[in-house]
Chains A and B, each alone.
Chain A
Amino acid sequence: MTDLTVPKPRSELGEIVYHLVRDPLGLTGLVIVLLILASALFAPWIAPYDPIALNVPDRLQGPGAAHLLGTDQLGRDTFSRVIWGGRVALQVALPTIGGAILIGLLLGMIAGYGPKWIDNLIVLLFDTVRSFPTVMFALAVVALVGPSLNTVIVVIMVTSVPTYGRVVRTLTQSLKEAEFITAEKSLGASTPRIMTVHILPNVLGPLAVLAAMDIPTVVGLEAGLSFLGMGVKPPTPSWGSLLNDGYNLIRNTPWLIIAGGIPLILTTIGFTFLGEALRDVVDPKLRGKGGK
Chain B
Amino acid sequence: MTTPNISWTRIGLPRRSFLKGATALGGLAATGLMLPRPAHAAEGTLKTRTYADIRSMDPAFSQGVVDEEIQAAIYNKLIQYNPGRQWGWQLDAADMIEQVDDTHINFALKDTIGFTNGFGAMTAEDVKFSFERIIDDTLESTNKPDWGPLDHVEVTGERTGTIVLKNAFQPLWSITLPYIAGNIVSKAAFESVGGKIDTQPVATSGPYLHAGWEQKQKTTLRRNPDWQGEPAAFDEIQIYHIDDEKAAEIAFEAGEIDFTRVSLDSVERLKSSPIEGTTLDEYPSLYYVWVGMNLDNPKMANPKLRQAIQYAIDVPTIMAAAYFGAAEPSTGIIAPGLPGHRETSLTGAAANLEKAQALMAESGEGNVSLTISVLNKSANVTAAQIIQANLAAIGITLEISLHEGATFWELGSDANVEMVLNRYSMTPDPYYATSWFISEQAGIWNWERFKNEEFDALHLTAQSEADPVKRAEMYVRAQDLMEESGAYKFLTHEATPVIYRNSIVPALRPDGLPLYRYFGAA
Q: Which residues of A contact B (CB under 8 A)?
A: 54, 56, 59, 73-75, 143-144, 146-147, 228-230, 233-235, 244-245, 247-252
Contact = CB atoms under 8 A, between A and B. Distances in A.
B321 A56 contact: yes
Given A56-B317, A56-B321, A234-B384, A229 B389 contact: no
Contacts of A234: 381, 384-385, 388, 400, 402
Interface of B: 246, 249, 263, 265-266, 268-269, 317, 320-322, 324, 376, 378, 381-382, 384-386, 388-389, 399-404, 406-407
B385 A74 contact: yes
B265 A248 contact: yes
Contacts of B384: 234
Nearest to A247: B246
B254 to A, nearest CB: 13
A143 B404 contact: yes
Contacts of B321: 54, 56, 59, 73-75
A252 B322 CA distance: 14
Contacts of A251: 246, 249, 266, 269
A229 B402 CA distance: 7
B269 A252 contact: yes
B402 A250 contact: no
Contact of A248 (B246, B386, B389): B246
A235 B385 contact: yes
Contacts of B265: 73, 248-249, 252
B510 to A, nearest CB: 28
Contacts of B249: 251
A252 B268 contact: yes
B297 to A, nearest CB: 17
Nearest to A250: B246
B324 to A, nearest CB: 8
Contacts of A235: 385, 388, 400
B405 to A, nearest CB: 10
B263 to A, nearest CB: 8
A250 B253 CA distance: 15
Nearest to A53: B389
Contacts of A73: 265, 321-322, 324, 382
Contact of B406 (A143, A228, A249, A252): A143
Interface of B, helix, strand, loop or mixed by DSSP: helix
Nearest to A252: B269
A257 B321 CA distance: 18
Contacts of A252: 265-266, 268-269
Contact of B386 (A74, A143, A245): A74
Given A59-B321, A244-B378, 13 more contacts: A54-B321, A54-B386, A56-B320, A73-B321, A74-B321, A75-B321, A230-B376, A233-B401, A234-B402, A235-B400, A248-B265, A251-B246, A251-B266
Contacts of A228: 376
30 contacts: A54-B386, A56-B320, A56-B321, A56-B386, A59-B321, A73-B265, A73-B322, A73-B324, A74-B321, A74-B382, A74-B385, A144-B407, A146-B401, A146-B403, A147-B402, A228-B376, A230-B402, A230-B404, A233-B400, A233-B401, A234-B388, A234-B400, A235-B385, A235-B388, A248-B265, A250-B246, A251-B249, A251-B266, A252-B265, A252-B268
B181 to A, nearest CB: 34
Nearest to B250: A251
Contacts of B404: 143, 230
Nearest to A147: B402
A147 B402 CA distance: 7
Contacts of A249: 265
Q: For A59, A73, A144, A249, which residue has the most chain B Cβ atoms within 10 angstroms? A: A73
Closest 3 pairs between A and B when the two form their complex, measured CB to CB:
A229-B376, A248-B378, A54-B389
B350 to A, nearest CB: 13
A249 B266 CA distance: 8
A234 B406 CA distance: 20
A229 B385 contact: no
B150 to A, nearest CB: 40
Contacts of B246: 247-248, 250-251
Contacts of A146: 401-403
B130 to A, nearest CB: 39
Contacts of B406: 143
A7 B320 CA distance: 69
A169 B111 CA distance: 81
Contacts of B266: 251-252
Contacts of A144: 407
B381 A229 contact: yes
A283 to B, nearest CB: 44
A149 to B, nearest CB: 13
Contact of A233 (B320, B389, B402): B402
Nearest to B373: A146
A106 to B, nearest CB: 35
A165 B388 CA distance: 43
Q: For B321, B401, B407, which residue has the most chain A Cβ atoms within 10 angstroms? A: B321
A272 to B, nearest CB: 31
